Structure 1
Amino acid sequence: MGNKTLALCRTAPYGSALAREGLEAVLASAAMEQEVDLLFIGDGIFQLLGNQSPEKIQQKSQRRNLLALPMFGLEQFYVCASSLAERGVKPKLIEIPGVEIKTIEQPGALIASYQCVLSF
């Protein structure tokens, strides 16, 4: 993978600032022409669901950050298949315009292929 960085998106979108700050770090890295891949794993898969109403809990939507990622060259995301299954989320519920979603069965092998891994 060379000098690419893998960002592990592993936290739910709301309840803490970690998921939002992680996406902002990825956007900043991409803006500086750093090569970053994303793996949504664990509760992080909930970040990809479109039918959220964060205003009801007085939070700002993260959807805008996700939709901006293709403009910064991030046109492919990885999603952990077992995380989807464990949470009862069907892959067809995950759709980000301009992004190819790749469901992977062995996230450990993917993670091990990167020299730099950030976890949010």
Structure 2
Amino acid sequence: MAKRLLALCRQAPYGNALAREGLEAVLAAAAMDQAADLLFLADGVFQLLDGQRAEAIEQKSLRRNLRALPMFGVESIHVCQRSLLERGLDAGQLQIPGARLKLIADTGSFIAGYDSVLSF
């Protein structure tokens, strides 16, 4: 049985390289037929907001990486429900074409179900 890998995406989309590196790690794992999931929590939930203008701050957009996830077999995107509420966001504001968003109420139990956890 394959080991289950989870990437915790905690960082806002811009300001440092961690958000991009987390997405790239999951895409790389998926390209090598490794089962990898994502959990967006804390400021990481901002990565899923559509309509960001990364070019305005001279950054490369994360949207291409996010849109590639379903093509690499990552079809479910897990989102911490509490993180959304704390930031005044609604799940309807989050969009990744081709992926299903799943709200997670108990992140501790969810994370405990994985063999390996990477934090970005």
What TM-score, normalized to structure 1?
Answer: 0.97
The equivalent of 1:60 in structure 2 is: 60
Q: Which runs of 5+ in 2 are unaligned?
A: none
Shift of 1:2: 5.4
Could you give the per-residue CA deviations for residues 47-104 of structure 1, whole angstroms, max 9, x where no partner exists? 0001101111100000000000000000001100000000001110011111010001
RMSD (CA atoms): 1.1
The answer to whether the 8 A contact 2:2-2:35 is kept is no
- SS of 1:37 mapped into structure 2: strand
Q: Which runs of 5+ in 1 are unaligned?
A: none
| Structure 1 ranges of 4+ moved more than 2 A | none
The equivalent of 1:81 in structure 2 is: 81
Q: 2:56 and 2:98 mapped to 1: Cα distance?
A: 28
Q: 2:2 and 2:90 mapped to 1: Cα distance?
A: 32
- SS of 2:59 mapped into structure 1: coil
The equivalent of 1:30 in structure 2 is: 30
Equivalences, count:
120
- Equivalent residue runs for 1:92-111 within 5 Å: 92-111=92-111
What TM-score, normalized to structure 2?
Answer: 0.97
- SS of 1:33 mapped into structure 2: coil
Q: 2:92 and 2:2 mapped to 1: Cα distance?
A: 31
